[in-house]
Amino acid sequence: MTLTVLLRKLGWAAFTILFVVILNFFLFRVTGDPTKLFKDPRLSPQTIENIRVRFGLDKPVINCLESLRPFKFRADLCTSNPFDTQFSAYASNLLRGNLGVSFYSQRPVAELLADRLWNTLLLIGAGQILALIIGVLMGIIAAWKARTIFDYSSLVTGLAAWSLPTFWLGMILLFWGSTQFGLPLGGMATIGANYDSFWQRISDVARHMLLPTLTFTIVYIGEYLIIMRSSLLETLSQDYVLTAKAKGLTTYQILKDHAFRNAMLPLVTIVALNLGFTVAGAVQIETVFSWPGLGLTVFEAIERRDYPVLQGAFFLLAVCVILANFLADLLYSVLDPRVKV
């Protein structure tokens, strides 16, 4: 990959992030004013108005935007300062890196998301790594043993696992694991537990991770198995693979030196795109298992209409997906030298 191509891809990635920043702001303003959810009778109208002023909700979204009524112009909704708007405050917080302040917890959004992000990365990382290893291995064997009992059974198993609703599978495993094996019902660690050593803490976290990680693994094994099997079957039908067989190369040599790297190209794309879908699944799994991660934070913020938390979380997720796809483009040229752009 040349420097020009690399810079062009970086430019498109930056442009996409800028588009996400703008879309992210307006997306959550469509749902309305979050203070309208305050049903507590102890809150007077003046108190609610003070809350709106405290978080800048009394300012126009964009200067004079609220004045654009059908056949009517309201100059009182315009501000004398064009930068005294909700969007300018949002952009300013974004540039400073604090992403605003949560309406609910009064904590900086960046600090709140940082605390939860590592929990999600731990859960997703373990599930994705296991799904990749098992799914790719099963896909390779199924492709090499095509039209055998193992191939047919793997294909049926993969399709069944891929079609399972994530939240339903999580609830089934939660019920089964807690009743049959006494595994924890939720959370990341035992509440109020005192650990005598670091390894006791690791063991406790691992017990809490077992069921949600297993849910992730089962859901994504099917997808990786089917994609790898299909891609490898197509690669094994190429002329250069038939030539390698004619030369007397072993199965291991053919897979390692000729077929595997080319068959990995579609899988690299799927893994990069799956980051967004994985986080969507994390919302369901973390809610079912009460895992204190980014997915549960998003679910709670949706219920509360906590704009700053939602904006920060979706911005973070979008940037991760964009960067993952950028890295996937770079990996193409490593896996297949024929890929130049």
Domains annotated on the chain, with CATH? 109-335 (1.10.3720.10)
Predicted confidence band of residue 336 (pLDDT cuts 50, 70, 90): low
The pLDDT, as a whole number, for residue 147 is 85
CB 223 within 8 A of CB 128: no
Tokens of 103: 């309406």
Higher per-residue pLDDT: 55 or 235: 235
Task: Convert the pLDDT of each residue in 248-300 to its tens digit.
Answer: 887 778 887 777 777 877 887 788 777 666 765 578 888 888 888 888 888 88
Beta-carbon contacts of 308 under 8 Å, excluding residues fewer than 6 positions away, are 93, 99, 100, 101, 102, 103, 109
Distances (CA, A) of 223 to 150, 153, 325: 17, 15, 18
CA angle 28, 31, 35 (to 5 degrees): 100
Q: With 60 as the cut, is the pLDDT of residue 129 above it?
A: yes
Higher per-residue pLDDT: 137 or 89: 137
Q: With 70 as the cut, is the pLDDT of residue 15 above it?
A: yes
The pLDDT, as a whole number, for residue 134 is 92
Q: To which H or E segment does residue 48 belong?
A: helix 45-54
pTM as predicted: 0.75
State which amino acid sits at residue 115.
D
Task: Convert the pLDDT of each residue in 37-83 to its tens digit.
Answer: 666 667 777 777 777 777 777 777 766 544 444 444 444 555 555 56
Give how far the C-alpha of residue 64 lies from the chain's centroid of Cα atoms, to the nearest Å.
36
Beta-carbon contacts of 337 under 8 Å, excluding residues fewer than 6 positions away, are none
Q: What percent of the chain has pLDDT over 70?
A: 84
Within a 13 Å sphere around the CA of 334, how many CA atoms are in the beta-carbon half? Answer: 7
CB 109 within 8 A of CB 90: no
CB 20 within 8 A of CB 317: no
The owner of tokens 């694991």 is 177
Give how far the C-alpha of residue 309 lies from the chain's centroid of Cα atoms, to the nearest Å.
15
Mean pLDDT of the chain: 79
**What letter does residue 49 receive in the DSSP assignment?**
H
- What phi-psi label fits residue 56: left (phi over 0), alpha (psi between -120 and 50 degrees) or beta? left
Tokens of 298: 């998003």
